[in-house]
Amino acid sequence: MKVVITGGGGFLGYQLGKKLLETGELTGSNRLQPISEICLFDRFFSETIVEKTATESRITLLEGDISDRDTVFSVIDDDTASIFHLASMVSGECEEHFDAALSVNLNGGWHIFEAARARKGTPKVVFASSIACFGGDDMPETMTDSTKRTPQTTYGMTKVIGELMVNDYSRKEYFDGRSARLPTVIIRPGKPNAAASGWASGMFREPLNGEVCELPVHRHQCHPMTGYHEVADSLIALHEVPTEKLGRDRAYGLPAHQVTPALAEELVNQLAEEKGFPAGKIEDAFDPKIQKIVDQWPTAVDGSRAVQLGLPQVAPLKQIIEYYLEDFC
């Protein structure tokens, strides 16, 4: 079976591709089938990803613009059995470039869904949504899957619409869709991206590398976070859930830790002492623009509905940090 991962050149898309290679098979047409091809589709690929995938015959790299309908339809053909739709402009970019956000996140997602609809049979589509779907002054203390979605960012708005489209296309049996509402994913290696939540990885990554992290939010800022291993496993597990168990609302929020910069600093220093390396510091570099966006996001989420469906619990936060040290340091 052929699997397409949009946003396959990004950190999470690549991690998902690796996990699928290890898994080796997915359920399609009501039976387990070996994965014959994983197509990573993105606007460009780093030299690192090109090098790492060069010797894997089952991986194909395709560069293209997701906002171009013809390109998307050429990628998602009749051989495509499953689609993991991760491609998206991130939060900070969407706030700065509204028209581009609509073109990539809305039109691009619509092209993906239409291509899946046009394919023969009923492919599975797993959509990566976000806790940015929630927002506003009337948020409850903890967000659940039944909490009203009132996003206060363009990024969040596009994710809500994506979730609703997945529900409706699935209701009409155009494809078999399901959405995973992701907390902030840590710890991303490399340089920070334009996401307003970039500090969430930075407050671990930079000190673990012995560097200073410039923190744009308050030190008591609480934010839902999970690890990249858990997200990749959850996307695959959600793909494997039998259709009859999904219900009418196919959007499932993943479980997460409540993390503050103060907690991050404590755990990094603890690991640095245990493993004998010098930790960098977290220094205040308050950015009211970033804080204003983050203030509109939830501080706690309830992922029990996803866990009841069979998706994995989040690993201990210290373990998530140790995974990063093992994989990237």
User: What is the residue extent of each domain of the chain?
Assistant: 2-183+226-256+301-315
Tens-place pLDDT, residues 238-279? 999 999 999 999 999 999 999 999 999 999 999 999 999 999
Q: What is the mean pLDDT of residues 77-105?
A: 96
Give the model's pLDDT for residue 195: 80
- Which is it for strands 213-215 and 282-284: parallel, antiparallel or unpaired? parallel
Model confidence at 115, pLDDT cuts 50, 70, 90, reads very high
pLDDT for residue 36 = 96
How much of the chain exceeds pLDDT 90, in percent? 92
Angle at 165 between CA 163 and CA 171, to 5 degrees: 105
For the annotated catalytic residues, the residue numbers are 155
Averaged pLDDT, 278-285: 96
> Are the C-beta atoms of residues 105 and 63 closer than 8 Å to each other?
no
Class of domain 2-183+226-256+301-315: alpha beta
> According to the per-residue pLDDT averaged within each range, which of 184-198, 251-265, 285-299 is highest?
251-265
Pairs from 140-149 (Cβ < 8 Å, separation ≥ 24): 141/299, 141/300, 142/298, 142/300, 142/301, 142/302, 143/253, 143/298, 143/300, 143/301, 143/302, 144/253, 144/301, 144/302, 144/304, 144/305, 145/181, 145/249, 145/251, 145/252, 145/253, 145/302, 145/305
6-57: per-residue pLDDT in tens?
999 999 999 999 999 999 999 987 889 999 999 999 999 999 999 999 999 9
